[in-house]
Structure 1
Amino acid sequence: MAFQRIFLLVITLAFSSLIYGHDIAINIKVTNEQQALIPYSTVTLVSKTDSAIRTGTITDSTATAHLNVPDIGFYQLQISSVGYNNFSQIIEVTDSNFNFTFKLKAGSAALNEVVIQASKPLMQQEDDKTIINTESLEAASTNVYEVIEKTPGLFVDQDGNIYISSTTPAKVYINGKELKMSTADIAGMLKSLPPNAIDKIEILRTPSAKYDASNSGGIVNVVLKKGVKIGITGSATAGYQQGKYNNKFAGFNVSNNNGETSSYLNLNYSNSNNYQVLNTNRDISIDTIIAQKAYSTTPSDAVYLGYGINKDFTDNMNLSYDGRVSYNNYNNYTDNTNSFEAIANDIVLGSSKALSTTNDKTFLVNQDISSTLKLDTAGSEWTNSFTYSYNNNRERLDYNTYSALPYGGNGISNTSHHYFELQSDLTLKLPGKITIETGIKTTYLPFNNKADYVLTNNGDTINDNSRTTTYKYAENINAAYFQASKTFGAFILKSGLRMENTNMSGHQTVPFDTSFSVHRTDFFPYVYLSRKIMTIAKYEIRAYLVYRRTIARPSYDQLNPFPKYVDQFLSEVGNPNLKPQFSNNYEFNISVEQRPLFAVGYNDTKDMFTNVYYQGDSLHALAYKTYDNVGSNKEFYIRGLGVIPPGGRYFFLFGAQYNHNLYQGLYQGQPLNFKGDSWLFFTYHQLKIDKNSMLTMNGFLRLKGTLQFYELSSFGSLSFNINRKFFNQKLTVTLSLNDAFFTNNNEFSISQPTVNAYGYRETDSRRFGINLRYNFGIRKKDEDPDLFKFPNNN
């Protein structure tokens, strides 16, 4: 409570200090290398601290551009003129430094198009989010999922959960829209996307009030490419990776842009296979363990189709339509050997063998319609969007157990859900460097699951009542938010409040009738404060302080009571009694020239729910994995980055993060008091061999430590790739080696009041690959180009 009072005090003091600033007039003179004046040049300025602050003009007959900027600070200057090379430089505007002169070098005699080229940093900080430019990561990947795995600072566990800073998994968004799907379905969809479909990845550790409050683990927003170049352009890609098994993919994308209308099409097919070794020893009594050795292969085929059209009806009004369709045919073949062993002398008391085959077919359709209305030249706009998605999943399981009393079974589980979302957002850029953001959102998600299973014993077939279920779930969330930001002097303050009304209901009719419902309204404050600290060698250093209250609601698959078969001694089952968890998130961080440098954070979570491993009937050695509210979690983390900025021949990034967690509550009804630590190191290196060749290396190391209630041994991965461009840089060939030293495997253990187990896991992670990408295009020749056009002030 003391922390929250301090933040409220900061808001009060800051907003009471809001005053209207006065614009600073600056003059920019443009000459050539012989000091001759260059009139009618295009000059633009973009603030380095707020990209929405943008202005531009044309130099007059004296070759001078007269512009007004709202405040002192660093600005990105861009100058272009017919017959001269484009010019780009960062300048600092101060109270005594507002007159500038720049020289342009002679270039081509005519200007067909203005192209500003600059080296993109791998990571950069933009307000309260980190931008990852993924181009170098795409070259050594066969799908978007692998790109995320290679992204520095992100950790993906074996179940497909993505972690940013905390032990709570992040939510995955596509183009700013949350994927309302299970973790397995999200992973499957990301694996169907070709790697070059990504424009960038946005990481929001503490999202603002504009975003849903159910993001206590942060947001990973995958922004997909759309048609952006004039004319018809595109690329064809293909790739192959070989480990013990192989992955391969092929696809193409094409876009067309005639200025007012742009459209795109993206088609990709992938075929992959992987294996997993999972050995587990679990205590079932004081003198006996059950030892399980499972070997699984997971061949799959996936097809992805993305398409869209964007239309500018006027200079201020835009309408866009985007669609995505994916189909994934996934198989799992598991050979599981089980033995009961005496702890004292390792004598085998009994054994069995189980073979299972799972076929999972998932079909996903997503449709987005959005409109943008620009209200002025300062950046004010009104956006509206409607999203519909449909997800259908059909899973067939066949299993046989060979023991003294052999038996088998099979069944089909059908799952489908629809998702509707309607959202409206208004952004107002007001005088005095004030920005107002407000909006409303409503979502509706109906979910249906029906599972029919049978047991076979001695040739007789009977219904398996323990696995046959019928379950329906519906979720409606209504939200509204308001937030305002103000730049005054060296400070940027943003504060907001979000209201969310939650309505959830679940009804199981088979094997017995039970239901639940939740109706509640909650409020979630948000505060963001940024301040320029100092400037070193023209590099601006800024500090950020962020706070937000968040909620984590259990998803439909976590609430579904259907017991999913894993093996004869283990099942996965949802928990319809889960309660939502609430967190207060605090973070302080420092960036240098928009690049994250250092951060320290604290998360305080109540009613935490997480994946737990509960002991069942010890007489039959049964256990089950489920979700449960275990109590409270207090988490402290610290993160640091060191970097050589891009632009030279060699670039590197090295980072580390430390997490400390304290859990207090109940674990399967027994007192829980558990604490753990973890260290994560990550690095990325890039060496430009020549203008057509590049060598990169990326990797991570996670030292022995805890992940939720599990203790993991040290593990990591180091990957290399080299690419070479041919045929006037149209063809790119990339050779890659992933997990070169085969270190991305680990031992694990869990020791809690009712369960004690340990084991080992490995996957087909070491792979050699080759990727090919060919760019093509038919560029339209501009007729009567407007040489004096400059970007609008938005």
Structure 2
Amino acid sequence: MKKAILLFYLSIIVQNIFAQTQSVSFRFIDNTQKPIIGTSVKLINKADTNKIQYGISDTSGVAKFITKAGQYTLKATSIGYKNLDRLISINAKSSSFELVMQDDANALATVTVVAQKPLVSQEDDKTIIDPEPIASSSTSAYEIMEKTPGLFLDPDGNIYISSTSPATIYINGREQKMSSADIATILKTLPPSSIQKIEILRSPSAKYDAASSGGIVNVVLKKGVKIGRTGSVVTGMNQGRYGNQFLSLNLMNNDGPKNSYFNLNLTNRNSYDQIETNRKLSENTFLAQKSYATSPAKIFYSGYGFSYDLTKKWTINFDGRGSYNDSRSESSNENLIKTIGTEAIRSQNQNDVRNNTHNLIFNQGFSTKYKIDSIGSELTSDFSYNFLSNQNKQNFSNQFISPAQEPFFGNGDIQTQRQSFIGQIDLKFKTAQNIIFESGLKTSLLWFKNTTEYFARSNGLQTLDVTRTSKFDYEEAIHAGYAQASKNLHSIQIKVGARVENTNMYGHQRIPKDTTFKINRIDVFPYAYLSRNITKIAGFDLTGYLIYRRSITRPVYDYLNPSPRYIDQFLYEAGNPSLKPQFTENYEANISVDNRPIFAFGKNYTRDIFTNVVYQNSENPSIAFRTYDNLGKNEETYFRLLGAIPPGKKYFFVVGTQYNHNKYDGQYQNKPLAFNRGSWSFFTFHQLKFSDVSSLSMNGFIRVKGQLQFYELSNFGNLNLSYNHSFLSKKLLLSLSVNDIFFTNNNRFTLNQGTISANGFRKSDTRRVGFNLRYNFGIKKKESQNNMMNFDTLENNSK
């Protein structure tokens, strides 16, 4: 009831304070009815020429604005086309326009068109991030994520947006159906120059999978959308205690109805992770551990794609990616059991672990688009197949120093194979009354197999370790359908819909014992979205949004796999096959200025919440194990604030903050759980442009009273600096960078839940100095930014 009342009052507030404005869209096409991507648009109010709005057309050739009825001058420019200058009359009946741009053959000789590309922009219910200012100082897509304003990555590779639930990761609009560790591996293989944009959906509509309680991060790769043949060669490195080096080749071709691209990337990576922990074992003793691990890896990545306009209405797209990762990680752990108070050593031993891992990932996709009419109606289909093979050979040794005894040796062979198939069909139909209907069907199939064999070696003999040997199979089938509709009603943009999902999960542990489980359920997930212009501030439109959605978080196969994984003689980790899905209801109100998000406030209500927990063995308190468990319910309150001070061309400054407060109520290890924690995050971006060929950029974040599941973290953050300079008529771009300048991206942590009382310190190889060198060739746009929250980038002019 309280939630319904809250939504009712928020709706009343919107009705009372929003001004009489409407949404208007312009679709730019060429003489063959093909959409023109990246058209730079300027909309000038005839009554007040100081009121100017800027925009850029998306992959459908559409640029959207929120404005009042009246007379406007529209100016549009795009590479290879003649400038468009037209008088436009906007009213309730005329809010959608289709404009034909004429070819300009002379413009292809020398490219001088300037397009506007904001760093952060808002498009309906998603935030668009331009990674270009960050990519020039990064060696992989993973590093771009680490530096993206508003995103936070934990040590396990999970990515967080607003809530403390991890976001779901898409690549090119497709869910990856992988564990966080596997997705982190993929992001580390993607070259930074291969990313076109990052879409952040904090509250995805009914069109998207309901399994996205933490929102969606969609990484969109470049696909040769620029006219002509273009490409780049990029190389770079950064050096901390260890070094990272990469070399990539990117080729793109846009030849009328045909588009193609090819990426090739070679990466050599290494880093270290250092952890110190103290865990209480009894009233008189505690375990002190020091761990130092390195993770060198060699990575090969290739991506390719081809799209073709069969007719004016039919388009097909064929794309794929493949990567091979060869890593050899080593860790050394010192373990001391001490007396509390005197710190007298009762025992001492040394654990050494070596992992040799071969990781093969392959993805193949095929999609089609049929344009039903010229006002935006279309029928699309998308099919993809994913394959992952992971082979890990592990060797470990335990050296007992005090009291002295025979050393213990062992080895493990862990083989994992994952396959998935995803197919979906979507219909978007736009009526003459500007009502947009959307519906679709989707099927996701997943097969996962894990075989783990551990052996103990002593006195030259090798025997099977039955306590760690296991075999686990998992299958998942999710069938979904959705319907939603949107319309501009009395200057309020309304979108409502619902999604129905049928979940089928089957897990079967064959060794050492049968832990078969089955889940079959049908759930409904409603969605509601309202937006309307509020007022104007300094000539900028202030737009408000209200969003409600229900979502589910299903445990991935790693969380369910009960096979134990050896960490050291005092710690192992295993999944929980009895883990149940968790459900979240999200309410959010946010405000944007000229499609740039500046403020948001939201509440998440989650039941059957599951999270990473550490339990102590009841029979042997010196042994602990990490797993996942359902702990009860959680109420999370958050707000975000983002601003730019001052707007300008030479110097720009952006600052943002986010606050999260979590309240848990449930049980932890059969004991009442009452946990409250509030944390702040601050992030910023600066850019100083010295000239049209050089600039200095700085970005960073600070996290105050951070939280990672039930771990309470000390303050931590980092500050990154890069200098960019272009040469050879802006074809060659050099970037010099320093990451984590003050080496502050490390933290102390505390865990006091159930029978576990622990604290410690963690740091890794985050402070690095490096360079990136990129040479661009072919015909390519020059992209620059102005207006609020836009950044100037050193993109290239070509001839």
TM range (shorter): 0.7 to 0.9
Q: 1:237 aligned to 2:234?
A: yes
In 2, the alpha carbon distance for the partners of 1:497 and 1:714 equals 41
Alignment-mate amino acid for residue 656 of structure 2? G
Moved more, 746-755 or 43-52: 43-52
Superposed, 1:368-387 pairs within 5 Å as: 368-387=365-384
**Structure 2 partner of 1:438:** 439
| Cα distance in 2, alignment partners of residues 432 and 704 from structure 1 | 51
How many angstroms apart in 2 are the aligned matches of 1:217 and 1:665? 21
Instruction: Classify 1:55/1:439 alpha carbon distance in 2 versus 1 (closer, same or farther; 3 Å).
Output: closer
Give the superposition deviation at 1:44: 9.1
Q: Which residue of 2 aligns with 1:497?
A: 498
For 2:623 and 2:255, how far apart are their aligned partners in 1?
64
> After the TM superposition, which of the residue ranges 614-623 and 754-763 deviates more from structure 2?
614-623
**1: distance between equivalents of 2:22 and 2:324?**
56
Please state if 1:454 is matched with 2:478: no
Q: 1:487 to 1:244 in 2, by over 3 A?
A: same
1:792 maps to none
Matched-pair contact (CA < 8 Å) for 2:476–2:505:
yes
Q: Please name the residue that 2:29 is paired with.
A: none
1:325 aligns with 2:326: no
* Residue type of the alignment partner of 2:736: L
Match of 1:2 in 2: 2
Asked if the contact 2:189–2:323 (Cα under 8 Å) also holds between the matched residues in 1, the reply is yes
Give the equivalent residue in structure 1 for 2:364.
367
Task: Note closer, same or farther for the CA distance 1:742–1:74 as it changes in structure 2 (3 Å cut).
Answer: farther
Secondary structure of the 1:214 match is coil
Residue 191 (structure 1) aligns with: 188
| Post-superposition offset of 1:228 | 1.7
For residues 648 and 703 of structure 1, do their structure 2 counterparts lie closer, same or farther at Cα, with a shift above 3 Å needed? same
Alignment-derived partner of residue 141 in structure 1: 138
**Matches of 2:512 and 2:199 in 1, distance apart?**
44
SS of aligned partner of 2:114: coil
Equivalent AA in structure 1 for residue 279 of structure 2: R
Contact 1:605–1:634 (CA<8 Å) still a contact in 2? yes
Q: 376, 390, 394: which is aligned to 1:393?
A: 390
How many residue pairs match? The answer is 739
**Aligned ranges 1:6-405 → 2 under 5 Å:** 7=7, 72=69, 77-79=74-76, 86=83, 111-112=107-108, 116-403=113-400, 404-405=405-406
Structure 1 residue 431 displacement after superposition: 2.0
Structure 2: how far apart are the matches of 1:25 and 1:552?
A: 35
Given that residues 285 and 618 in structure 1 are in contact (C-alpha distance below 8 angstroms), is that contact kept between their aligned partners in structure 2?
Answer: no
TM-superposed deviation, 1:70: 11
CA distance in 2, matches of 1:119, 1:618: 64
Q: Give the partner amino acid of 2:555.
A: P
Question: What are the equivalent positions in structure 2 for 1:723-734 lying under 5 Å apart?
Answer: 723-734=724-735
How many Å separate the matches in 1 of 2:72 and 2:478?
41
Q: Is the 8 A contact 1:270 1:303 kept in 2?
A: yes
Work out whether residues 45 and 54 of structure 1, in 8 Å CA contact, stay in contact via their aligned partners in 2.
no
Question: 1:718 aligns to what SS in structure 2?
Answer: strand
Report what 1:784 is aligned to. none
TM alignment of 1:492-641, pairs within 5 A: 492-617=493-618, 619=620, 621-641=622-642
Contact preservation (8 Å) 1:549, 1:584 = yes
Counterpart amino acid of residue 633 in structure 2: S
Aligned in 2, Cα 1:109/1:500: closer, same or farther, shift over 3 Å? closer
With structure 2 as the length reference, what TM-score do the two structures score?
A: 0.87
SS in 1 for 2:133: helix
SS in 2 for 1:118: strand
Offset at residue 332 of structure 1 (A): 1.3
Seen in structure 2, the aligned counterparts of structure 1 residues 54 and 668 have a Cα distance that, compared at 3 Å, is: closer
Structure 1 segments of 4 or more deviating over 3 A? 4-15, 21-26, 42-56, 68-71, 73-76, 79-95, 108-116, 617-620, 644-647
User: Which residue type is aligned with residue 428 of structure 1?
Assistant: F
CA contact (8 A) 1:71 1:489 kept: no
For 1:50 and 1:424, locate their aligned partners in 2 and report how far apart those are by CA, in whole Å.
28
Other-structure match for 1:785: none
Output one character per residue of 1:486-542: Cα deviation in whole Å (capped at 9) or x when no partner.
112321010100000000001111111230100000000000100100122331100
Unaligned runs of 5+ in 1: 16-20, 27-41, 57-67, 99-107, 781-794
User: Cα offset for 1:706?
Assistant: 2.8
Give the AA of the match of 2:303. Answer: G
What displacement does 1:117 show? Answer: 1.9
Deviations 1:587-641 (A, max 9, x none): 1100101111111110000000001111114635000110000110000011101
Is the alpha carbon distance of 1:613 and 1:395 closer, same or farther for their aligned partners in structure 2, counting shifts above 3 Å? same
Deviations 1:447-490 (A, max 9, x none): 11111110112332211111111111000000000000011232
Q: 1:504 to 1:236 in 2, by over 3 A?
A: same
Cα deviations by residue, 1:337-391 (Å, 9 ceiling, x for unpaired)? 0000011211111110001101111101100100000111111110001110111
Amino acid at match of 1:72: A
| Paired residues of 2:397 and 2:409 also in contact (CA < 8 A) | yes
> Are the equivalent residues in 2 in contact too, given 1:678–1:707 (CA < 8 A)?
no
Q: Conserved in 1, the CA contact under 8 Å of 2:117 and 2:130?
A: yes
TM-score, with length taken from structure 1: 0.88
Query: Given residue 384 of structure 2, which amino acid in structure 1 is its aligned partner?
Result: T
**AA in 2 matched with 1:337:** E
Give the Cα separation in 2 of the matches to 1:676 and 1:631. 16
Instruction: Give the 3 Å change call, closer, same or farther, for CA 222–83 of structure 1 in structure 2.
Output: closer
Aligned to 2:769: 768
- Structure 1 equivalent of residue 785 of structure 2: none
Q: 1:51 to 1:540 in 2, by over 3 A?
A: farther
- Equivalent position SS for 1:619: coil
Alpha-carbon distance between aligned partners in 2 of 1:767 and 1:10, rounded to the nearest angstrom: 47
Contact 2:706 2:712 in 1 (8 A): yes
User: Is contact 1:284-1:618 (8 Å) kept?
Assistant: no
Q: Which amino acid aligns with 1:637?
A: Y
- The one-letter amino acid paired with 2:526 is P
Q: After superposition, what is the alpha-carbon deviation per residue over 1:422-455, rounded to whole angstroms, capped at 9, x for unaligned?
A: 1000001112221111000001101111111101
Whether the 8 Å contact between 1:387 and 1:421 is mirrored in structure 2 is yes
Structure 1 residues 337 and 6: alpha-carbon distance in aligned structure 2, compared to 1, 3 A threshold:
closer
Tell which deviates more after alignment, 229-238 or 192-201.
229-238
Q: Which is worse superposed, 374-383 or 449-458?
A: 449-458
Q: CA deviation at 1:144?
A: 0.2
Quickly say closer, same or farther: Cα 1:727–1:491, change in 2 above 3 A. Answer: same
1:149-183 residue CA offsets vs partner (Å, 9 max, x unmatched): 00001011111111101110001110010111111
Aligned 8 A contact 1:687 1:696 in 2: yes
Per-residue Cα deviation, 1:299-332 (whole angstroms, up to 9, x for no partner): 0011110001000011111000001001111221
The answer to whether the 8 A contact 2:693-2:730 is kept is yes
SS in 1 for 2:144: helix
SS of 1:387 mapped into structure 2: strand
Give the letter aligned to residue 644 of structure 2: V
**1:672–1:256 CA distance, 2 compared to 1 (3 A):** same
Distance 1:663 1:55, change over 3 A: closer
Shift of 1:229: 2.4
Deviations 1:49-80, CA, capped at 9 Å, x for gaps: 99799999xxxxxxxxxxx9997289792246
1:701-731: CA deviations, max 9, x gaps?
A: 0012433211100000000000100001000
